[in-house]
Chain A
Amino acid sequence: MSASSQSPLLQVHDLSVWYPAGKAWVKAVRNVDFEIMPGEIVAIVGESGCGKTTLASALVGLRDWRSGELILDGNALDPRQAKTWKQLRTQVQMVFQDPFSSLNPRQTLSEILLGPQRANGISGSAAQIRAIEALEQVGLCATDLNKFPHAFSGGQRQRIGIARALALKTRLLVCDEPTSALDVSVQAQILLLLQDLRKRLGLSILLISHDLAVVRALADRVMVMYLGSVVEEIPAAQLFSCARHPYTRALLASVPTLRIGSPPQLLVGEIPSLTQLPSGCVFASRCAIARPQCKLAEPIFEKVAPNCRVRCPYHGDLA
C-alpha cells in the first residue's frame, strides 16, 4: 500500500495550463494541486474536456505551464526551463492510450528500447541489459528484441510501451487511459502488471482513466476533475461508498453495472464550453442541489475527512 511516512516523490502546486483558441483562452487545467508518494497509485478521473489528459501532458512536458510550481524529491524545479524536463525524463515517463500508434512501426523493439536510453546518456552493454530487464519485467522475452511492433497484439504493445519507460528506470509512470483501447480480458492483464510493478519496483503511477471500476480496483487515491479543476479527492476504497461531490455521485450513477434492476441515472444538461466558463461553481448548471449562492463564487477545495477533500460546501445535502 502507499507509504505515508515518506516525503512525496512529486508535488505540484497551482498548476494551470491554458492554450490559445483565437482571441480567447481555453483554460484546460486551472489551479490544480496534487502530490504523489513513492509507490503510490493516484488516479485522475473525469470525462472529455475535464483536463485530465492535458494535466498528464503537462506533467511530462508536452504542454507548457501557464503557472505552477514543480517539486521533485523536495527540490523545486522551474517548469519553464528546458533543463528541468531534461532532468525529469528519467524520472517521469508516459504510457499512451493507443497501443497501435504509440510505437514507431519501422523500428524494432531493440531500437525502441535502446533509442531513448541513448537520448538520455545510457548506451552500450548497460543499455542492452536494461532493455532486456525491462522486457522481462513486463512479461516479454529477450528473443522479441528484433521483431517489429506489428508482430504483437494490442496488449503486448502496451507492455512494450511500459517497458520503454521502465528501461529508463522511471519512478513515476503517467498512464493515459492505458487500457481503454484494449479488450476487457486483456485489460485485466495490464492492470495486474501495473500492480505488480508497483509492488516489485516501488513505481508510482498516475492513472488517467474514465473507468471508475478500474480506478477503484487499482488506485490508492482518486482525484475527480470537471472542467479543468479538481472537484473531489478521496481514497479509492471509499469512492463507491462515500463520494461527496454531486458530480462524482452523478458519474458513479451513470455507469452501467452488471446488476440488473439498477439502471444508470442521467445527468442533465450540457457541459459548458472551456472558453466561456460560467461564474461561480462550474458544475452549478447541471447540479441537482445547486443554489443561487453557487453561481456567485467558486467554492474552495476543503478538507472534510482524512484524505478527503471536496469542492462543494453543500455536499451534505445529497442523500
Chain B
Amino acid sequence: MIFSAVSKERFVRYRANRRAWWSLWILSIAYGLSLLSPWLVNDRPLVLSFDGKLAFPAFSFYADRDFGGTYGTEANYPELLDSAHRAQHSIWTLNPPIAQDPLRADLSAAGEPPYAPSAKHWLGTDAHGRDLLARLIHGFRICMSFSLILTLLSTLFGVAIGALQGYLGGKFDIFLQRGIEIWASLPFLYVVILVASLYGHGFWLLLGIMTVFSWIGLSYYMRGEFLRLRDVTYVRAAKVLGFGHLHIIFREILPNALNPVVTLFPFALIGGITSLTSLDFLGFGLQPPTPSWGDLMAQGLANLFAPWIALSTSIALFITLLLATFIGEGVRDAMDPKSGDRYE
C-alpha cells in the first residue's frame, strides 16, 4: 500500500514526538505481552516432569488422576507440587514468570483475605484471596481487548453511516440525522443494565450493546468531512472523468476524510477502557469472577484498610490512560499542520 507523502510526513512528525512515540511502544508491548498472559501469568507450569513423564499443563488439560489423584477434574498444580514431595514422586517444573492464577483463591495464609503483599503474592491478594498482580495483568488484557474491538467496530459503523449521510445529503441525511439524535438521547447506562439483567453479562453481549451506542460520535465527524469533500474540486473532477459513486466514496473522499478517525481513535480507546471499568465497578459489567479492574476498584473501595488493592489498581489504570493520552495527543499534533510555529 502506497502511503502518500502527506501520511509519511505525519508519521515523521509523530515519531519526532518522543513522548508519544515511546508511549506507543510501551503500551503496544505491554498489550502484546498481556495477550500471552494465559500462559505467562498462571499457576499451570509450562513444563512438568512427573515421575519421568513429561507434561505441558499450560497448553493442555491434565486430569487430577493423571498425577496420581482420584478426580477427573483439572489437576491443582500448587497442591500437587506440595503433596508430591510427601508422596515421594519425583517432580520438576518450569513455571511461568508469574506463577499465580487470577481465579484461584489462596487461603493458606493466616487470617482473612485480603492478604498483604508477600514473597508469594507480590502485590498481595484481593478480598477473595486471589493474587492481585495476576488479576491486574489479566484484567489489562481483557480491558484493552474489549476496548480495542469496541473502538474498531464503532469506527467501522461510524465511518459507514457518517459517510453515507454526508455523501447522499438531502432528505436522507436529515431523516437519518434526526433518527441518530433520538438514538443518542437514549440513556445508555440503563439500556446496558436492562439488557445485561435480561440476558446475562457476557463479554460479547456487553461489547455488542456498547458498540451500538458508541459509533454516534464519529459519524458526526465523518458526515461533516464528507459534506465538505463532496464539493471539493478533485471530487467534481472525478465525476466529470466518469468515476462511479463507489469509487468516489472509497478512493477519492474516504482517504482524505480519515483525519477525525485517526485522531479520535486513541481517545475512543480511553473511553472504552473507562466505560468498561465503570460498568464493572458498578457491578453491571463483566460477570465475576472475570478479572477486571472495575471489580478490583470496587473491592479496593470496600477494603480501604487494605490499601494495596485500591492503590495498585489506581496506579495501573492511571498509567494506562496516561500512555494512551500521550499517544492521542501525539496523533493530534501530527495531524494538525498548523500546530506550532513551523513555516512549510
A residues lining the B interface (CB < 8 Å): 60-62, 86, 89, 93-94, 96-98, 101-108, 115-116, 119-120, 148, 150-151, 161, 164, 168
Contacts and interface: CB of A to CB of B under 8 A. Distances in A.
Q: Which 7 A-B pairs have the closest CB atoms?
A: A116-B241, A106-B4, A89-B242, A101-B233, A102-B233, A119-B242, A104-B234
A107 B4 CA distance: 7
B232 interface: yes
A119 B239 CA distance: 11
Given A98-B233, A148-B5, A104 B252 contact: yes
Contacts of B6: 105-106, 148, 150
A62 B240 contact: yes
18 contacts: A62-B239, A96-B236, A97-B233, A101-B234, A103-B234, A104-B252, A104-B255, A105-B256, A106-B6, A106-B7, A107-B4, A108-B2, A115-B241, A120-B241, A148-B4, A150-B5, A150-B6, A161-B237
Interface band, chain B:
20 to 34
Nearest to B235: A104
A96 B237 contact: yes
Contacts of B183: none
Interface of A is mostly: loop
Contacts of A93: 240-241
Given A106-B4, A148-B6, 5 more contacts: A106-B256, A119-B243, A148-B5, A151-B5, A168-B241
A134 to B, nearest CB: 13
B241 A86 contact: no
B145 to A, nearest CB: 32
Contact of A119 (B7, B233, B247): B247
Contacts of A94: 237, 240
A102 B243 contact: no
Contacts of B244: 119
A97 B238 CA distance: 15
Interface of B: 2, 4-7, 232-234, 236-244, 247, 251-252, 255-256
Contacts of B239: 61-62
B6 to A, nearest CB: 6
B240 A119 contact: no
A73 B247 CA distance: 30
Contacts of B256: 104-106
Contacts of B240: 60-62, 89, 93-94
Given A116-B243, A119-B243, A168-B241, A62 B236 contact: yes
B250 to A, nearest CB: 12
A165 to B, nearest CB: 8
Given A96-B233, A106-B4, A119 B241 contact: yes
Nearest to B241: A116
Contacts of B242: 86, 89, 116, 119-120
Nearest to B256: A106
Contacts of A120: 241-242
Interface centre among A94, A105, A106, by most B CB within 10 Å? A106
B251 to A, nearest CB: 8
A116 B236 CA distance: 13
Given A108-B2, A148-B5, A164 B234 contact: no
A60 B247 CA distance: 19
Nearest to A150: B5
Given A101-B232, A105-B256, A164 B5 contact: no
A63 to B, nearest CB: 11
A94 B239 CA distance: 11
A164 B2 CA distance: 21
A152 to B, nearest CB: 12
A243 B216 CA distance: 60
Contacts of A98: 233
Nearest to A146: B2
B243 A115 contact: yes
Given A89-B242, A116-B242, A119-B244, A102 B237 contact: yes
A158 B182 CA distance: 47
B246 to A, nearest CB: 11
A16 B48 CA distance: 87
A93 B2 CA distance: 28
A86 B243 CA distance: 10
B169 to A, nearest CB: 14
Contacts of A168: 241
Contacts of A108: 2
